[in-house]
Chains A and B, each alone.
Chain A
């Protein structure tokens, strides 16, 4: 029952006093039958529904079906049951990409969340030129993955990059940022964190502005220093935001593709091949559509589990506020 029916029914109920409680359910039902249009919502939803059905639901359904088939490139498929999933679990490269995905996620998520929090706290006060400083941190958010990648490839270029020139000028050894399997993942993590700090900062800033200032004033008057105010008041109040931000960032990291695709293409070797990269590679380089779909379904299941977790946390954060 939509909210307005409750509101109207409640209004009627209060007007009629004591008898109303008996009349209320009947009034509500009659009200709903008479007023609630049946076709209108479908008319409003239908443009989206058509586009989603053709370009989202159908391909997702096909991907699930493909994951149980052996498919030659754009030819027909033969039913192979769970073979693709079994192959996946016994494939060394699959586990390499799982490991890389974990490393990438662990490298990007806590870093960008922590930096975002630090910046939000520093910026959540009156400072000269605050708007401009904030813009400097936000700006990378709107730069495309391809542009970020090309810039970073140039900055971290082994021979002519500014980073290596800087290292050399300060007497440190040059580093093979992108051509060494030991460093490539770190370089990609730096590029991705650069683009994501702004998002974390924005989210934390919004949460900080929701904190009742009188709480902090009271603590300040009681003589709590800024560190005590942070650990005892701000941090606990930010907990729901932190949980949500971490889950969201994990989802972003599991889906991250553009930067890796352009910067390293998953190499050198397979040192930066994460799961989405592996899926794309299996489908387009190896031509194993069915197998690629199976890995895709595995990844989507992981993402859905994270969403369930996110919803739980979101509900909890609503209970707290």
Chain B
């Protein structure tokens, strides 16, 4: 009897103050979450620990989660023995230019799809969305033929141009720009502003969050791109970080501490971008998935 009456009262009190007391159950949930989170983080931790352990902390005999000796010299050695600086620079150039083009053309196209009615609009939009469904493996051969006809094989542009055409970016841009108030555009038109000016003065200034989301998502995707750069880039001096990293795997036995050092270096840029822009990244993922 006492519990029946007290529970709703207690619940109401909690709701009223807006604070949630840490009960035993809540602590159990918290501990489970923390343990799971640490398990999720473990592979990243393990990359780091392996890299700084001389010989890569092989677990042949014992079992240890922390190296007995630490050697940060591995990073210097990795830079000496592999052209990591070059790969990093290639990745930065390719990702940056590709993101710039992608964001720019997706904003323009997204604006047209969102705010104009023109013949063939829905078909064109549909076709661009359809490309999301086509795995790169399916078109990799014709794509390579096109790139070689254009004389772009093994150049930055061979990766930048195909990866700048992203159906998903146009989709996200359109979904965002559809929400811009039509009254503003209409009013500017009545005032005699040109269509280009309306885009520059009204749509663009209101697209800050959209540009942020698109930039962050595409940067992470382009940085991590693997299969197309693997096909299009053929000499190690043109490799991106992912392709270079893959070249360390397999036949040529590299020591594991060095492989993990390069892996860690390859992850650092996206992890930094992610930690700084986590909110926009998460929002972008949630929105592009839900709508």
Which of B115, B141, B220, B242 is the one whose CB lies under 8 Å from A63?
B141
Which of A8, A48, A197, A255 is the one whose CB lies under 8 Å from B165?
A48
Which of B146, B165, B246, B267 is the one whose CB lies under 8 Å from A143?
B267
Q: Report Cα–Cα, A150/B47, bound state, in Å.
A: 9
Which of B124, B224, B241, B248 is the one whose CB lies under 8 Å from A145?
B224
Q: Report Cα–Cα, A41/B138, bound state, in Å.
A: 31
The minimal Cβ–Cβ distance linking B194 to chain A, given in whole angstroms, is 8
One digit per residue, 1 when the CB lies within 8 angstroms of any chain A CB and 0 when it does not, for chain B 74-111 equals: 00000000000000000000000000010011101101
Query: Chain A residues with Cβ under 8 A from B47's Cβ?
Result: 147, 151
Interface size on B, residues (CB 8 A): 109
- Answer yes or no: B208 CB below 8 A from chain A CBs: no
Task: Tell whether, in the assembled complex, residue A142 and residue B289 are in contact, meaning their CB atoms are under 8 Å apart.
Answer: no
One digit per residue, 1 when the CB lies within 8 angstroms of any chain A CB and 0 when it does not, for chain B 170-184 equals: 100000000000110
Given contacts A2-B116, A135-B275, A166-B63, contact A280 B140 (CB under 8 A): yes
Interface size on A, residues (CB 8 A): 111
Could you tell me which residues of chain A, from 129 to 187, have a CB within 8 Å of some CB in chain B?
129, 132-133, 135-155, 159-162, 164-166, 168-169
- Answer yes or no: A119 CB below 8 A from chain B CBs: yes
One digit per residue, 1 when the CB lies within 8 angstroms of any chain A CB and 0 when it does not, for chain B 234-245 equals: 000000011001
- Answer yes or no: B212 CB below 8 A from chain A CBs: no
Q: Report Cα–Cα, A49/B59, bound state, in Å.
A: 54
Query: Chain A residues with Cβ under 8 A from B106's Cβ?
Result: 48
Q: Report Cα–Cα, A111/B162, bound state, in Å.
A: 33
Given contacts A59-B146, A146-B246, A160-B58, contact A202 B282 (CB under 8 A): yes
Number of A-B pairs, beta carbon distance below 8 Å: 312
Task: Tell whether, in the assembled complex, residue B138 and residue A155 are in contact, meaning their CB atoms are under 8 Å apart.
Answer: no
Which of A40, A126, A165, A205 is the one whose CB lies under 8 Å from B19?
A126
Which of B46, B138, B266 is the one whose CB lies under 8 Å from A144?
B266
The minimal Cβ–Cβ distance linking B45 to chain A, given in whole angstroms, is 10
- Answer yes or no: A7 CB below 8 A from chain B CBs: yes
The minimal Cβ–Cβ distance linking B188 to chain A, given in whole angstroms, is 11
Task: Tell whether, in the assembled complex, residue B109 and residue A47 are in contact, meaning their CB atoms are under 8 Å apart.
Answer: yes
Could you tell me which residues of chain A, from 293 to 317, have a CB within 8 Å of some CB in chain B?
293, 296-297, 299-300, 303-304, 307, 314
Most chain B CB atoms below 10 A, which of A4, A43, A197: A4
Which of A44, A60, A128, A159 is the one whose CB lies under 8 Å from B30?
A128
Task: Tell whether, in the assembled complex, residue A8 and residue B46 are in contact, meaning their CB atoms are under 8 Å apart.
Answer: no
Task: Tell whether, in the assembled complex, residue B135 and residue A299 are in contact, meaning their CB atoms are under 8 Å apart.
Answer: yes
Task: Tell whether, in the assembled complex, residue B133 and residue A248 are in contact, meaning their CB atoms are under 8 Å apart.
Answer: no
Query: Chain B residues with Cβ under 8 A from A261's Cβ?
Result: 226-227
- Answer yes or no: B4 CB below 8 A from chain A CBs: yes
Task: Tell whether, in the assembled complex, residue A133 and residue B33 are in contact, meaning their CB atoms are under 8 Å apart.
Answer: yes
Q: Report Cα–Cα, A59/B161, bound state, in Å.
A: 14
- Answer yes or no: B185 CB below 8 A from chain A CBs: yes
Which of B127, B182, B260 is the one whose CB lies under 8 Å from A150?
B260
Query: Chain A residues with Cβ under 8 A from B71's Cβ?
Result: none
Which of B32, B121, B140, B143 is the one whose CB lies under 8 Å from A41?
B121
Task: Tell whether, in the assembled complex, residue A52 and residue B128 are in contact, meaning their CB atoms are under 8 Å apart.
Answer: yes
Given contacts A44-B199, A122-B32, contact A257 B227 (CB under 8 A): yes
Task: Tell whether, in the assembled complex, residue B286 and residue A135 are in contact, meaning their CB atoms are under 8 Å apart.
Answer: no
Q: Report Cα–Cα, A47/B274, bound state, in Å.
A: 29
Query: Chain B residues with Cβ under 8 A from A132's Cβ?
Result: 37
- Answer yes or no: B7 CB below 8 A from chain A CBs: yes
Which of A122, A241, A300 is the one whose CB lies under 8 Å from B29?
A122
Task: Tell whether, in the assembled complex, residue B139 and residue A251 are in contact, meaning their CB atoms are under 8 Å apart.
Answer: no
The minimal Cβ–Cβ distance linking A318 to chain B, given in whole angstroms, is 10
One digit per residue, 1 when the CB lies within 8 angstroms of any chain A CB and 0 when it does not, for chain B 136-152 equals: 11111111011000000
Task: Tell whether, in the assembled complex, residue A194 and residue B146 are in contact, meaning their CB atoms are under 8 Å apart.
Answer: no
Which of A62, A136, A166, A257 is the one whose CB lies under 8 Å from B37?
A136
- Answer yes or no: B252 CB below 8 A from chain A CBs: no
Task: Tell whether, in the assembled complex, residue B245 and residue A205 are in contact, meaning their CB atoms are under 8 Å apart.
Answer: no
- Answer yes or no: B131 CB below 8 A from chain A CBs: yes
Task: Tell whether, in the assembled complex, residue B263 and residue A119 are in contact, meaning their CB atoms are under 8 Å apart.
Answer: no
The minimal Cβ–Cβ distance linking A70 to chain B, given in whole angstroms, is 14
- Answer yes or no: A13 CB below 8 A from chain B CBs: no
Task: Tell whether, in the assembled complex, residue B246 and residue A203 are in contact, meaning their CB atoms are under 8 Å apart.
Answer: no
The minimal Cβ–Cβ distance linking B262 to chain A, given in whole angstroms, is 9
Minimum CB distance partner of B264 in chain A: A147
Which of B135, B170, B256 is the one whose CB lies under 8 Å from A257?
B135
- Answer yes or no: B249 CB below 8 A from chain A CBs: yes
Query: Chain B residues with Cβ under 8 A from A51's Cβ?
Result: 101, 105, 161, 164-165
> Which A residues are closer than 8 A to B by beta carbons?
1-4, 7-8, 35-38, 40-45, 47-49, 51-52, 54-60, 62-63, 66, 74, 119, 122-123, 125-129, 132-133, 135-155, 159-162, 164-166, 168-169, 194, 197, 199, 202-203, 205-207, 217, 220-223, 241, 244-245, 248, 251, 254-255, 257-258, 261-262, 276, 279-280, 283, 289, 292-293, 296-297, 299-300, 303-304, 307, 314
